[in-house]
Amino acid sequence: MNIFVYKDTAIKAEQYTQWQTEFSQFCKEYLEKPKYTTVERDFKFYPTVKDKDGDLRAQPEWMRTLVGQVEETGKNAFDHVFIFIHVDRWRSGGDLFRELVGNPKARGIWGQNFSYVYGNQHVHYCRWDEKNMVNTFNTAYHESLGHCSDALIKVELGIEIDGIIESGLRKIHANKPEVISFLNKHGFDWDRDFAHGGRKVGGHPTLDYLGAAGASSNLYVLEMAAPYILQAYKVRADSHNAELKEKVTLLTIIVDLLKLIRSYQNKKDGTPRGT
Instruction: Let me know: does 37 contact 28? Beta carbons within 8 Å.
Output: no
Q: What is the mean pLDDT of residues 162-181?
A: 94
27 pLDDT more than 60: yes
Predicted confidence at residue 14, as pLDDT, reads: 96
Q: What is the mean pLDDT of residues 262-268?
A: 61
Q: What is the mean pLDDT of residues 217-233?
A: 92
The helix (run of H) or strand (run of E) holding residue 113 is strand 111-115
Instruction: Let me know: does 129 contact 113? Beta carbons within 8 Å.
Output: no
Q: What is the dihedral of CA 138, 142, 143, 149, to 10 degrees?
A: 140
Percent of the chain with pLDDT over 70: 85
Predicted confidence at residue 267, as pLDDT, reads: 58
Distance between CA atoms of residues 226 and 266, nearest Å: 59
Q: What is the dihedral of CA 204, 208, 209, 212, to 10 degrees?
A: -170
Percent of the chain with pLDDT over 90: 60
Q: What's the mean per-residue pLDDT of the chain?
A: 87
Q: Phi and psi (nearest 5°) for 58? A: -60, 135
In whole angstroms, how large is the CA radius of gyration of the chain?
24
Predicted confidence at residue 112, as pLDDT, reads: 93
Please write down the HEC assignment for all residues of 248-270. HHHHHHHHHHHHHHHHHHCCCCC
**pLDDT tens digit string along 114-125?**
999 998 999 999
| Chosen CATH of 1-158 out of 1.25.40, 3.40.50, 3.30.750, 3.30.160 | 3.40.50
**Confidence band, pLDDT 50/70/90 cuts, at residue 271:** low
150 pLDDT more than 50: yes
Q: Out of 130-139, 159-168, 236-245, which region has the weakest mean confidence (pLDDT)?
A: 236-245
Predicted confidence at residue 207, as pLDDT, reads: 81
The domains of the chain are located at: 1-158
pTM for the model: 0.84
**Confidence band, pLDDT 50/70/90 cuts, at residue 272:** low
Which of 235, 271, 251 is closest to 76 using CA atoms? Answer: 235
Distance between CA atoms of residues 199 and 208, nearest Å: 6
Return all residues near 199 (Cβ < 8 A) that are at least 6 apart: 205, 206, 207, 208
Predicted confidence at residue 260, as pLDDT, reads: 61
214 pLDDT more than 50: no
DSSP letter, residue 272: P
Instruction: Let me know: does 58 contact 64? Beta carbons within 8 Å.
Output: no
Predicted confidence at residue 252, as pLDDT, reads: 63
Predicted confidence at residue 97, as pLDDT, reads: 80
